[in-house]
Structures are given as C-alpha cells and as structure tokens.
Amino acid sequence: MLGGPEYPQLAKDGDIILGGIFSFHSSWQNRELNYTQSPPPLQCTSLNFRAFQYTQAMLFAIEEINNSTSLLPGVSLGYKIYDSCGSIARGVRVALALANGNQETTTEGSGCSRPAQVQAIIGEDTSSPSMATSTVLGPFRIPMISHFATCGCLSDKVKYPSFFRTIPSDHYQSRALAQLVKHFGWTWVGAIRTNDDYGNNGMATFIETAEQLGICLEYSVAFFRTDPEEKLHRVIENIKTSKSKVIVAFLSFVDLDLLVNQFARHNLTGYQWVGSEGWIIDSYIARVEAHHVLNGAIGLSIAKAHVTGLGEFILDVRPLNSSQRECTGRENLSGLQNVFTDLSLMAIFNNVYKGVLAVAHALHNVWGCGETCGNKSQPDPQTILKHIKNVRFKTKEGEEVYFNENGDVTAKYDIINWQPKEDGSVEFVTVGLYDASLPADRQLTINNSSLVWTQNVPVSVCSESCPPGTRKAVQKGKPVCCYDCIQCAEGEISNNTDSVTCDQCHPEFWTNKKRDMCEKKEIEFLSYEEVMGVLLTAVSLLGTCMTSIVAFIFFRYKKTPIVRANNSELSFLLLFSLTLCFLCSLTFIGRPSEWSCMLRHTAFGITFVLCISCVLGKTVVVLMAFRATLPGSNVMKWFGPPQQRLTVVSFTFVQALICTLWLVLAPPFPIKNLTTYKEKIILECDVGSAIGFWAVLGYIGLLSLLCFVLAFLARKLPDNFNETKFITFSMLIFCAVWITFIPAYVSSPGKFTVAVEIFIFAILASSFGLLFCIFAPKCYIILMKPEKNTKKMMMGKMSTKSYG
C-alpha cells in the first residue's frame, strides 16, 4: 500500500457497513511539490455545514432502520463516512479506502477476492467527483448512490455501471429550463455556467433543447470559482455589452456567490435570472449582501419533501463536554439562524434518506427477510447492485422510490420564484410544477398570477414578434431569432404570431387586407338584381315590346298594300324570330347552370339563324319578283310561298342539327373562373366544344354574308316595293356589330364583357338594327303617311326615292 492509511471522520460498527463520502470542507490549501519526497497530506479548509446536514440525514436513516422491526429486523447497519474536501483526487482515494480497507498488506492467499469493506456508498455531493469516484468503483460493482450529482452524463451505464442517484438527472432539468424560458416568450437569452461537468453538460443539453424550441443564445460563458479574476471580469463585460435581459444560470451556489458580488460592484440590475436547482433555493445565496440582484429570479428545485423527525434529528447536535471549556454540553442549536440550522434543503436531505433506504430494501430482499433475517452472511456488492436496480418501495411519507434502467429517479421539479419581502429578505415561493412523467403538453404548469418580477414582465427578444399576416425572414448572418417581418403575399395568410411561412388560401378564398384570414371570394355573375342586369333586362323587354307592337301594326294593317307587297308571311315570321332574339338575351343573365348554359348558346344560334333566314328569304323574294316582271318570266312559280317556307326551315334545320351534335358530344357547362381575377370568382359558361361554338357562329356569319351580298346586288332595283336597300343597311349593322365584339369576347372573359360585348349587347344591337332598318320605314308610312299606302304608290315608278 502506497502512502499512509485513510481513516473515516465518522464510523460505527455493524453487521453491514455503509460508506459515505461528503465534502465536510469545500476547499484545501495549495501544496508546493518538489518531487523529491512524498506529498504531504491534503490540508482541508472552509467548513461546509451542508455536508454535516447530509451526514445527519444518513445517520438518521441508519438509526431508523436499526430500530425498525419490518425492515432488516435483527440486523444492525454501521457506517464509515469520509471527508473528500471537494477534491476529486481525495474523493478517489477515500473511495478506494472504502472498497479495500486500510490494510498495509494483504493476508496470504486472500488476493483480491476478499469482501469489500462496505456494501454500498452514499455520495458524492456534486457531479465531477461522482464521475471520478464511480469510474473507480465501477469495476468492483460497488453501488454508489448520490443525492446531489445531477449531470446527465452519469446516466451512461457503460461508463458508470454501479452509479445510482435519488435526484433527477440534468437531462430533464435542462429541458425543463428550456421549456420554462419558452413559456414566457424569451427567445434571446444569455447563459452562464459553472466550468465543470455539472455546468458544461447541463448547459449543452439546454442549448440543444433551446434551439429546437426556437430560443437563441446571445452569449454562453463559463467560469470556475478558482479562475483568475480577469476571467470573471471578461464574463461581466460580455454581459454588459449584450442586449438580452434574461440570464440562464447553470451554476453552483459557490460560483454564483462570486458572480452576484461582481454584478453588485458593476451596478448591473434589471436582469431576469433563470436558475438551476444548484442555487435557486439556496438560503446562503439569499442572505448575501448583493442578493437583491437576483430578486424575481425563477428556476427549478427538487420537489419539496418532508421526513418526519429528520429536522429535529439534524438540529439535535450538542458539543462534547471535553471540546471547549466554554461549552456546557447542554447547548441547543434549534434557536440559532445559520447555514447548519437552515432546513430549506430538506428535499436534498430526503434524497440521502432515500438512498440509505434503497440499500436497506435491497439487503432485505437479498436475505429474504421476514420477521427476522436468518442468513446474515456478507453479500457481495454485485448481488446488492442487482437488487438495487429492481428495488421499489414507499417511504413512511408515502413517496414511491425506484430507479429506471439508467439508475435515475422520476424527474419532478418545483418552479420557484424569488420574491422579496418588506424586511429585505427573500421568500422562495412555489409558482408551478414540472413533471417529466406526464405528456409533453402537460409537463409544465405555472400560476402566472403568483409571479413577482424584477420590474415589469420581462421581454427578451432579438426581434419583436411578427403579427398575424406576416412571416419571419431571418436576417442574413444572424441567428434565427433575429428576423424581419415580411407581409404575406397576395393569396397567402398567417393567422398565428411569429409564423415562419404563409399558407396558401384555397382557390375559392382570398386574403383580407390584414392577410391573417382567408375570406370567401366574391362570386361574380350578371344577375337580375344589379344595375347592369336590370338595364339589359329592360332593354331586352323593350325590344320585345317594340317587336310586338310592330307585329300588331302589321296585323292591324295586313290588308294594306305596303304589308301585302312586302311578303307578309315572311314579315310575321321575321318579327317572331326577332322577339325570340330579344328574349334569348335574358338567358345570359342570372347564375349559370347546366341548363342555362346549354340553352343560352343553342337558343342564340337557332333564333338568329331563323331571323337571318327570313331576311334572306325576303331578299330572294325581291330578286325573284323583279325577274318575274320581265316578259316571259315565270320565276315566281319556283319561289312561291311553299319554297320560301322550305328555305327558312332548311336553313334553320341545319343550325338545329349543329346545335344538337354540339349538345350531345360536348355541351356547354358552368365553370368557376378562378384565374382571370385573383380576388373574385367569375361564374361563366364554358362552351364545352370550341368547334361546336365556332360552327354555330360561323353558320350565322355565312348566312349574314350571303344575305348582305344579295341585298347589296338588289339595292338599285327600280320597284317601289324594293326593300333590299334597308336589308343591306341592316345587315351592314349586323355584321359590324359581330365583327367588332367577337374578338373582344374571346380575349376578355367576365361578366361585363359577356354583357356588353357579344352575347347581350351584340344580340340586342343587331336585333334592334334589323327591327329598325327593315320595319321602321314601313311603320312610318302606315301610321304617318297613309296616303302613300296605296297600290298605285306601291306599283308606281319614282325617279328619286322609294320607300319599298
């Protein structure tokens, strides 16, 4: 054995010995090593009363078990408790002493097969010493149960196979802190950590989770209590130049003490602190002179606990009569106010208590104890390790204790808020709860109304929130939390604050002015209720009425020469077709439907062909009548009334056949035009077959052209009843209207183009043109110049003007 033996600070014999490693001192004196002789023993300094409290909790648990008749009855537990002085090297040394004993030589033949000196070890206080110690103890499979080592790295069972803890892992705490920051909308924060395994690993997990939640760190700095003062000054300068107002502090209370004093010295106030369990309920920090810097702090602490009798046991300490002359031995600590008498860390004391109980329950199961434990042979640590993994019990307070596959306990935290009182002291107020065993959306519960902030509700963002109707656009070269708010494009919305993208509206919806809601597009079609619809309907009905009046006049004076001379049968048929032309324009008004779409095109096509056929028939009759006046001509025999009727029916039948084929093969149908206008829907009729549509129009145009040519050729015939000049003029108007409006209709769909251009305006314009040009002169003579409505006038020759 190299070096001198290590003796425990506290020891007691028993059937089973438990080890304990606590930092009764928090520091040590530096030694000058000359490497010419063995280093002197470590000189520990700075008493740590917390470790004495942890030790008292361990002794309380052992005494309770030794007095129990249900847990390890008839078995006495002893202990060997060492001081590690906060030194990793000394912690490893005393761990080996607990494992192997202090024998200077081994007994002959015993080798390394003799039983360990202790069956399990309670400790250490912090993560880095626990990692070193459990690495040494791992090969021996000696269970080690820590009450305050929280580094998530200790959950690695490959590196630390025999490590357990009764405090939640920082794996959960770091995530809980990130969720806490996110809950208050703080997306631009600073981070300070202790430069050891506890701080570095905890902060790494926090940063990873924070990034997933959209939280950015403006800075992340680390320091340790033994660092040069210049390094701490650099940390302070870093904070001074930052814009974030929230500081996430993953620190031990010792390191935070140094930092808080520096904040007070530089008059740095107004920051919102978010703390880990390492300091958030530490009464020592709450009593330092500069504690006001932390007022309003919020953070996580181990869930509050109560162990009946433990508080009284911790305070039931009296000095020995032989220790100091001024002590009587009857002094009572319960009336004092200092670190040792402060029981605010009862949750941590409870962790020590649960660790001892876990070992006792494992031993109870190993020996199969009932009313007594018959077999009290020393079990090897590996057997105890196996049973600790599977242990599950309830404390006398009803708390269930068990370890998961990583040696961790269920993570539950109280959310603590530092609230200053009138006397300047601080009260640790529980304002919420975090339970990692619940579903993600129910893990964090906070009573916002109970919170007290440093000033107002803190705001810590790089960029202000983007309101609905906008999206976030990350600023080039900056973290994702620094962004500009860009208004959503037309047809896109965002109805949430801080949207990353804008959502496309459904094709039948359009954005409102704020771009935060999709509203139903305005549906547009030519209706009877709107002004244009009313006007066009009125004009259509006016044309119908006027045509009816003309028909009445012609019927009333049907025996007069002017009516009889102008082929009264074709005239009445022409007036009937014009009436249908005026009425068919009404089919283009109103909400398009399957039937209305088919009706409007076919009615338009057939009625106009009927109308043009009548006009064409009248033109041919004039030509034939002129030829019949020639000597020896009997032309009218071949184009009498039966032939005229057949001509009209034949021409109309061809159009009806075209329309029938169109309706059968590819009929018109209603559609929602979503592309012409972005902000509205146009209800219109799709022609179905472009060939059918243009065939109908083309046939009308062919008849119109033929009629125009024949009328033009017959315009200078000498007879008084020659009406071809009026037909020529009417067909000229007809063709001009359609030639003008067809291209406009094709290129500009929509309700006003349908109305004003081709299918309403063109119909009405051409219909009125035919009505006025062909029938107005005759009505004028019948009503205003009856003296000219004689057979003599109709058959007479006029050299200058003829009314036809």
Q: Is 95 exposed, middle or buried (0-12, 13-18, 19+ CB in 10 A)?
A: buried
Cα→Cα distances 510→501, 507, 673, 683, 804, Å: 17, 8, 14, 16, 61
> Is residue 107 one of the residues assigned to a domain?
no
Compute the distance between CA of residue 313 and CA of residue 390 in angstroms, rounded to an integer.
30
Q: For residue 287, count other CB atoms closer than 10 A to its CB.
A: 14
Compute the distance between CA of residue 783 and CA of residue 34 in angstroms, rounded to an integer.
142
Single pTM value for the model:
0.62
Show the tokens assigned to 268. 């740095």
CA 603 remoteness from chain centre? 54
- Same domain? For 206 and 154 the reply is no
- Same domain? For 346 and 217 the reply is no
- Same domain? For 193 and 299 the reply is yes
Summarize the confidence of residues 366-376 as an average pLDDT: 83
- Same domain? For 258 and 395 the reply is no
Q: Cβ distance 639 to 624 under 8 Å?
A: yes
> Is residue 530 one of the residues assigned to a domain?
no
DSSP string, 540-551: HHHHHHHHHHHH
- Same domain? For 145 and 178 the reply is no
Phi, psi for residue 149 in degrees, rounded to 5:
-90, 110
- Same domain? For 355 and 417 the reply is no
The whole-number pLDDT of residue 131 equals 93
| Domain region containing 637 | 553-783
Does residue 27 or residue 513 have the better pLDDT?
A: 513
Predicted confidence (pLDDT) per residue in 264-292, tens digit: 999 888 899 999 998 998 888 888 888 88
Q: Cβ distance 180 to 415 under 8 Å?
A: yes
- Same domain? For 198 and 226 the reply is yes
Compute the distance between CA of residue 287 and CA of residue 586 in angstroms, rounded to an integer.
91
The whole-number pLDDT of residue 722 equals 55
Summarize the confidence of residues 780-792 as an average pLDDT: 80
- Same domain? For 682 and 628 the reply is yes
Predicted confidence (pLDDT) per residue in 410-459, tens digit: 899 999 999 998 888 899 999 999 999 889 889 999 998 889 887 777 88
Show the tokens assigned to 609. 């062909």
- Same domain? For 487 and 366 the reply is no
Domains contained in the chain, number: 4
* Mode of pairing for the β-strands spanning 392-394 and 400-402: antiparallel
Any idea what the CATH number is for the domain that residue 266 is in? 3.40.50.2300
Weakest-pLDDT range from 91-95, 116-120, 298-302: 116-120
Residue 800 has pLDDT above 50, yes or no: no
Structure-derived torsion over alpha carbons of residues 732, 736, 742, 745, reported in degrees to the nearest 10: -130
Any idea what the CATH number is for the domain that residue 560 is in? 1.20.1070
Predicted confidence (pLDDT) per residue in 636-690, tens digit: 556 667 777 888 888 889 989 999 999 999 998 888 888 878 888 888 888 888 8
- Same domain? For 187 and 158 the reply is no
> Is residue 462 one of the residues assigned to a domain?
no
Weakest-pLDDT range from 370-384, 489-503, 649-663: 370-384
